A and B are shown apart, each in its own frame.
Chain A
């Protein structure tokens, strides 16, 4: 790697690897173990919220200590507990879908796809007959593609958008059939309010035609997501079912 590359790399990783001193390391270990009280405990709680290096150290210890909980026997709580939890969390459910969709940290997590998987999906897309980049006659408009995945999973959908024609090609590769629900594709613009782009095939591929309004929004970095909806699609105009994959549009 050249010097400039090293500098960029260093700047990217510096905040995460900045050295904790011995006192901090003990504080992290003891916080994870749970032995701290009063001032030490409050100091540790504050560091967890504000210091990524400290949080990483705590999570590392939690990860190592958790297997000890295997010694703890499961005990069924009474049914009343779930009823209370349900009552306290209702009203923030999927009926209020718009508010939930702008959870940025979650989207970032979902969009992270391993380079290997993305490359494989991209290659598959490029070699599909008729839609390769080199057959695209659109002059200035650059086609955009997105690989839609759930975190850590192989791409479930690959989308290719051609700004010149408004055509959105989507290939579905879902492992198992979804039975009664159908995949619906959503566009998540900057305002976080999802807009439906239409229903997708449960297998194989197809073209969606994007309307003029949505066409102007589709661009570099815009998130696409797929939720499972009742046959015929969401009736509310917002996603109602679980989100099974998402990804960002990027220039081809």
Chain B
């Protein structure tokens, strides 16, 4: 089982171009990051291309990690999300013909994942539970699907400004709850 601290150390070794560490980091994290990419892109081929970019980026930028404040997991996850969102937005809009997305429910917790500290996860889901359902749903689905405000409005079938308000109110309550 890998903890965030182990992954921290691996990234430090990757910064020194330690190939064994890079391989191990890939083995420990690629399935999770691939899941993140796939959730956003909903296409295996695209998600595999993006995953490749993600790890090339990790290899090249690992030395920047130690100067940051985010945890190793948050750093890796944001590379995977940003790269997937870039790809998703650059795709032609009407590309929903094939949906190879595995059957993943939009809500409800999945089994524990060693990559994310359990109490952190519980805290954010507790906090999401405290929000108004509309706000919580908007934040959760938007984050996991990599939607823009416009896409969230389309998917949630609500006016853009309404969705923006839900998300902003939700983020504020979330921040207050997490800081408590």
Residues of A that sit less than 8 Å from B by CB:
26, 29-30, 32-37, 55-56, 59-60, 62-78, 80-82, 84-85, 88-89, 92-94, 96-97, 100-101, 103, 105-106, 108-110, 150-152, 241-243
Q: Contact check: which of B17, B18, B70 meets A63 at CB < 8 Å?
A: B70
Assess the B9–A150 pair: CB atoms within 8 A. yes
Assess the B174–A64 pair: CB atoms within 8 A. yes
* CB-defined A-B contacts under 8 Å, sample of 25: A34-B81, A34-B146, A34-B147, A35-B149, A64-B174, A65-B143, A67-B117, A68-B128, A68-B144, A69-B32, A71-B107, A71-B144, A74-B113, A75-B35, A75-B38, A77-B48, A82-B26, A89-B55, A94-B16, A105-B66, A106-B12, A106-B15, A110-B66, A242-B16, A242-B21
**Interface status of B7 (Cβ within 8 A of chain A):** no
Q: Nearest-CB distance from A132 to chain B (Å)?
A: 33
Contacts of A101 in B (CB 8 A): 16
Residues of B that sit less than 8 Å from A by CB:
5, 8-9, 12-13, 15-23, 26, 30-32, 34-36, 38-39, 47-48, 51-52, 55-56, 59, 63-64, 66-71, 73-75, 77-78, 81-82, 85, 89, 102, 104, 107-110, 112-113, 116-117, 120-121, 123-125, 128, 139-140, 142-144, 146-150, 152, 167-168, 171, 174-175, 178
Assess the B35–A74 pair: CB atoms within 8 A. yes
Interface SS, B side: helix
